[in-house]
Structure formats: structure tokens, C-alpha cells
Amino acid sequence: MLRDSRRVLRPGGRTAFYTIHPVAGLTPAQRRRAARSGAPAVATARTYEDLLAAAGFTQISRTDCTDGFAATAQAWLSEWDASFAALAALYGEQTVAERQRKRRIQLRAIRDGLLARSLFTATRP
Amino acid sequence: MTSSEAKAAELFTERYRIGPTDVTRRIERTVIGADWGANGYTTLAQAGKLGAELGLGPGVRLLDLGAGQGWPGVYLALTTGCQVILADVPTGGLRSAAARARLEGVAARAVPVSASARRLPFAGGTFDGVAHTDVLC
């Protein structure tokens, strides 16, 4: 995806994206837990800085926003719990319960220091 | 499409099946600070930051990958005046995004395209900026 982003950008064009990723320096076991607790994309062992450089981007920067991630993840969980019945009527009780279960796992991984969320920016030379 | 993309598409097709409702809009306003069909973690302030980082403004061409229901692509078209292509695999989300773009009067500048982010149907050098938020692929 990053390579094709670079291709469709004009020279001097920029990419900016928020993404969930494992915290740097985890043990292999922690990394596996981070991958299970987050999105499939976090399974990669390489950092986004490396991936962006390999895709041909320059001026790569990262801004950590994990604190906000934890707060937003907690807010989704709390608000969905508070409106469980209304959401279950829309999506089905099992679907809502499963989504909340995954949110709890993800929130624990954030609080245990395994998952982070960052804003990455980079330029197509 | 890769298997991870296919799985993500299946998940989000189901998630977008219902479209925005009163209860989901209310929750979104509390969690994100706006109700544009968000289901990730990009807050209103973070969407603004994305626009600033990319220098969005009138005439700037933005590609929003994994555009979902239009957050933050349609919002950025409205608030910055940029032109945005909303690319995603699940078409249900894009229909909601297109409806919101019409409602906001920015349909001419916010155009949905069903496409995989790994093989984009655009010529090289088409865009000034590429954005995505919590995309699963």
C-alpha cells in the first residue's frame, strides 16, 4: 500500500496517516500478543519508518498519539456498553458483544504498553 | 486483493450494512467529536492535523485510502476546499460517504472509487497528498 501511495503521489507530494502499531523493542511473545490485540497490519516486524523508507519516501517523521488512542478506545468501549441494547437491536447481540470483547483486549494491550498509535508523515522525493 | 484485504472488506461490509443511525451518530459525537461515520480513533482535532500536515486547500488533490463512510475524507473536502478521491473496497461505506458529500454540497469535490489500496487505478503522480487512518491492510 505504501509503494502504491508513493507511485500515485507527484514529486514533492506528501503522505500522512494514523496507524496502530506494536511499541518498539517488544519481545517476540509480546509482539505476538500485540498483533493478536490490534489490527492485522501490526503483525509486521518492521517499523513504519523502515517501511516508508523501503517504499521510497523521504522526510519521514512520527508523532506518538498513544495517550489519545487509549482515551478514544476507552470511550468507544464505554459508550457502546452504555447503549448496548440499542446497538444490539441494530447489529445483533452477538456482533456487539464480540466487538466489545475485542475492544477490551485491545485496551488492555494499550495499557500494558504493547500497542501504540502514531501519525506518520513522509514526502515523495 | 490479498487475504487480509478480503477479510477487512468482509468485516467492514457487515459493519457498514446498517449505515449511520441516530444512536451511532450520538456515540460518535461523544467519542470522536463529530459524526461523519467514523469507526476508528481519529478525533476531530486529529483530522484537522492531517489536513494541515498535507497542506490541504482549494485545488489540492487528496487520495483518502480506506475511506469508509467518509471520515475524514468528506470532512476535509468540506473544511479545506480540497478535492478528494475516496477509495475503499466495501461499497456500502462509500455509498454513505457519497450521500454525506451530497448533503454537504461537496459531491463534485469528493468522489468515491471502489479500489484496492494495493493496486490503485490511478496514473503515477496524480495526487498532492495521500491519507489513511487505521486502515486494515
Note whether B3 contacts A: Cβ–Cβ < 8 A.
Answer: no
Question: Check: CATH 3.40.50.150 for A2-123?
Answer: yes
Is B14 inside a domain boundary?
Answer: yes
Note whether B2 contacts A: Cβ–Cβ < 8 A.
Answer: no
State the best of A2, A3, A4, A100 to mutate against chain B, taking most chain B CBs within 10 Å.
A4
DSSP summary character for residue A46 = S
pLDDT digits (tens, 9 = 90+) for A48-63: 999 999 999 999 999 9
Is B137 inside a domain boundary?
Answer: no
Residue B64: name the closest of B98, B35, B29, B30 by CA: B98
Please tell me the total count of domains within chain B: 1
Task: Please state the rounded mean pLDDT for residues B25-44.
Answer: 92
B129/A20 CB distance under 8 A: no
Residue boundaries of the structural domains of chain A: 2-123
pLDDT at A40: 55
Is B62 inside a domain boundary?
Answer: yes
Hey, what's the torsion of the CAs at B31, B45, A71, B117, to 10 degrees? Answer: 80
Say which range, A42-46, A101-105, B126-130, has the weakest mean pLDDT.
Answer: A42-46
Q: What is the CATH number of the domain that holds B29?
A: 3.40.50.150
Written as nine digits, the cell of B98 is: 457519497
Give the B window 40-99 contacts with A, CB below 8 Å: 40-43, 46, 49-50, 53-55, 63, 65
Say how far apart CA A42 and CA B124 lie, in whole Å.
Answer: 28
**Looking at chain A, which residue has its C-alpha nearest residue B50?**
A16
To which H or E segment does residue B55 belong? none
Q: Give residue B62's domain range.
A: 3-131
Is B50 inside a domain boundary?
Answer: yes
ipTM value of the model?
A: 0.91
Rounded-to-5 percentages of helix, strand, coil across chain B = 40, 15, 45
